[in-house]
Chain A
């Protein structure tokens, strides 16, 4: 058997047990954004992709419903309408220059994928088919529009496979099951500059230093700060946490999206595409309650609104089931054929995990933690910022880990598969452009030292706290106090719990002391990132005393543009291990970029 594009790597130096590699561009993460960047950069530079998973395991593959682009294949549409919907959907906290790029470049992004081989569903004329999705409208909110390009209800799967296939075609070098745990910054002329990343190889326990001219973070989200989530076990925010610990600010962390239709009790995602195809949300009495809240587009209102309405229905006693704690997603009128051909995966999920057949009975659903709107601040070239506007040369971020901000305070469905393609491609392009003229930043002495110390201190820790117990308490507490509805009191309680858990984390121990495939050790490392990020989420949320998009404060139920029409910027300052969040987190604001659309009341 021959292998046209083996994943063999070049010989590398080994010094004191640490492996040293050099690339023009290193990409951390092999989901949609990372692999799209690799495809863009690969033909023009030496590119290495480092991923904690095999690329096809990445959570891009779990995305279902589609990718928005105003192709106008099935009805009139325009990128300008898409821009407006994105801005309004994000409750005006979107940077409008970035949203315009997203909507304009969407069209090429979809065509790129089709040309790479993605098997989109087709119209009778053989063009890419499109369907409706929440918050996507014709002519500035007049009616739903068919904008989402899709491949059944496995669009993310097909994007991930297609990108991986094209990486194989290009012979991209992957380092699979390597956990990047540190960004190395070297002081040059009094300025700290990124020079490398340090990775832990799961199979061996060896450390690797990847020196690069350009470094792209494409590490995805951190939904595992919550218990009820559509996110994979591996979405622990390592990349975002690494940059946070390096003093790079995090933007808009209080805005977390709760997807309306998670399987009740489990959080497994059922695509909004179901409602795009005509499914309806009903309360216990069978009422189509979204008609009351969003009379124009009803069940296709944006996710923040639908999730809130569902919780409100339950809180006011109209929930279904023995405990009246969920609502129904009714697909029964769609018919078996639509379900089997356009929504086969979610039909199977309901059957497998709830024993409910969507063809004949409604499916119990409740909101599930789904997507971080906030993250690493970047500009429209995917360059990472060290404050409101200073670029860190050679450092890039794209996808869910980044905050451009095209999603503002609430992301529209289908805009994340779009985001990873548009800004993944941009990260690839601009990182190569930079690497062509830049020199390697020299490595400091023993660049792997801090990671070695962290790993060894966890491996040898002799404490009494169990990692899984701390993590469970964090996740349950975040569900309780920092979910769809928040108050100062609920967030205060979560803050206290996190403070306690951070103390507990200093007193852990693990079972597995081995070198090889030590997932016990890595779960402990991941918990450290989860705790750091949850603290930033809650601290930022407590400070925003208004309700906007995905951030709903029961004690401040209205949007307040006068005081809060600004992005939150959180900075790690002082002693990171100090007890109280206020002792090591400093908050600041960043203006929103407004071009064409002044904030208006958000009605659907």
Chain B
């Protein structure tokens, strides 16, 4: 049986080093790296280690978190150079012989420590009309029908939790703040390929913009970064195809 279900005792704890990129806007002129030693168990998450630092060593350490099990999308951050959710990254899956580097996601304005301004990210999301636009009116009190196969086409992109791990892993997004970014395209995909929706053309037009899908260089960073396992690059490719050849 797995280690997590055995009772862990103090003897099972060990010390790791986290090197965190700090920025306290009331104090710091620019970001700086700060090292913390913290006692953890192998089954702890990086979020647990951050909480231990905040609660036992330095209350000024600031980060977002809520559900702590990978569904709310609050705690995307760069952990050893890769975008991950802190609550889904277990200590045992990292090389603890080396310090673990933790910093805010890149490409969005840094606010404080691991917190960035999410507004540009949500602005890109809103810009792709991320809601069902249907011309038909369903029969009163009835659902629109949709076959199992029709629903399967966009199932993957409905998993998105808007954590921004994909968008802020994209080198194009880092250098061009105007690019819609993978997450917005994923959310456009979710509606473009929904059989109940009638506004695919409108969204495809928006994404045919010079800051749209054509900026994607297929580096697959986004797919690797997605904590929900969404095949982001594939979704972007499907949107590119749809721009060229139409939805079906």
Write the residues of chain A forming the contact surface with B, with a CB cutoff of 8 angstroms. Answer: 1-7, 53-54, 56-59, 61-62, 107-108, 110-111, 114-117, 119-128, 151-152, 154, 157-158, 161, 165-166, 168-169, 203, 232-234, 264-266, 268, 321-323, 325-326, 345, 348-349, 352-356, 364, 466-468, 510-512, 514-520
Contacts and interface: CB of A to CB of B under 8 A. Distances in A.
The 8 closest A-B pairs by CB, nearest first: A511-B59, A117-B132, A468-B55, A126-B145, A355-B2, A165-B131, A520-B59, A169-B131
Interface string B53-72: 01110111011111111111
Given A115-B143, A467-B55, A515-B26, 18 more contacts: A2-B127, A4-B126, A6-B123, A53-B72, A57-B67, A58-B72, A115-B138, A119-B155, A119-B194, A122-B148, A122-B151, A127-B145, A321-B1, A352-B70, A354-B2, A468-B56, A514-B24, A520-B62
Contacts of A125: 145
Contacts of A124: 148
Given A127-B145, A364-B5, A5 B126 contact: yes
Contact of B5 (A114, A203, A233, A321): A321
B3 interface: yes
Interface string B134-154: 000010011111111011001
A359 B113 CA distance: 40
Given A62-B72, A116-B132, A264-B5, A520 B60 contact: yes
A57 B73 contact: yes
B71 A355 contact: no
Contact of A268 (B60, B69, B155, B196): B69
A1 B158 contact: no
Contacts of B7: 322-323, 325
Given A3-B127, A56-B73, A114 B112 contact: no
The interface residues of chain B, by DSSP majority, are classed as loop
13 contacts: A58-B72, A108-B141, A114-B144, A117-B196, A119-B194, A126-B147, A127-B143, A166-B131, A232-B72, A353-B4, A356-B2, A516-B25, A516-B111
Contacts of A157: 71, 159, 161
B111 A232 contact: no
A516 B196 contact: no
A265 B143 contact: no
A468 B178 CA distance: 41
Interface of B: 1-7, 24-27, 43, 54-56, 58-60, 62-74, 88, 90, 111-113, 115, 118-119, 122-127, 129-132, 138, 141-148, 150-151, 154-155, 158-162, 178, 180, 191, 194, 196-197, 211, 229
Given A265-B4, A517-B111, A517-B112, A233 B54 contact: no
Contacts, number: 194
A62 B26 contact: no
B126 A62 contact: no
B122 A7 contact: yes
Nearest to B123: A3
Given A56-B73, A111-B142, A115-B138, A1 B130 contact: no
A516 B143 contact: no
Contacts of B73: 56-57
Nearest to A169: B131
Contacts of B112: 516-517
Given A264-B5, A326-B5, A516 B145 contact: no
Contact of A158 (B113, B125, B158): B158
B131 A168 contact: yes
Contact of B4 (A126, A354, A517): A354
A57 B63 CA distance: 14
B3 A57 contact: no
B159 A154 contact: yes
Contacts of A352: 70, 88, 90
B5 A265 contact: yes
Contacts of A355: 2-4
Contact of A107 (B55, B62, B111, B141): B141
B70 A122 contact: no
A217 B78 CA distance: 36
A515 to B, nearest CB: 6
B115 A517 contact: yes
Contacts of B127: 1-4
A56 B145 CA distance: 27
A167 to B, nearest CB: 9
Contacts of B72: 53, 56-59, 61-62, 232
A114 B143 contact: yes
Contacts of B147: 122, 126
Contacts of B144: 114-115
Contact of A53 (B56, B74, B132, B143): B74
Contacts of B150: 126
B45 to A, nearest CB: 8
B208 to A, nearest CB: 13
A111 B141 contact: yes
Contacts of A233: 65-68
B26 A466 contact: no
A512 B127 CA distance: 37
Contacts of A321: 1, 5-6
Contacts of B197: 117
Contacts of A3: 123, 126-127
A354 B65 CA distance: 21
A310 to B, nearest CB: 15
Nearest to A149: B143
A128 B151 CA distance: 11
Contacts of A59: 66-67, 72
A203 B64 CA distance: 12
A353 B69 contact: yes
Nearest to B139: A111
A168 B193 CA distance: 20
B143 A364 contact: no
A3 B119 CA distance: 11
Contacts of B138: 111, 115
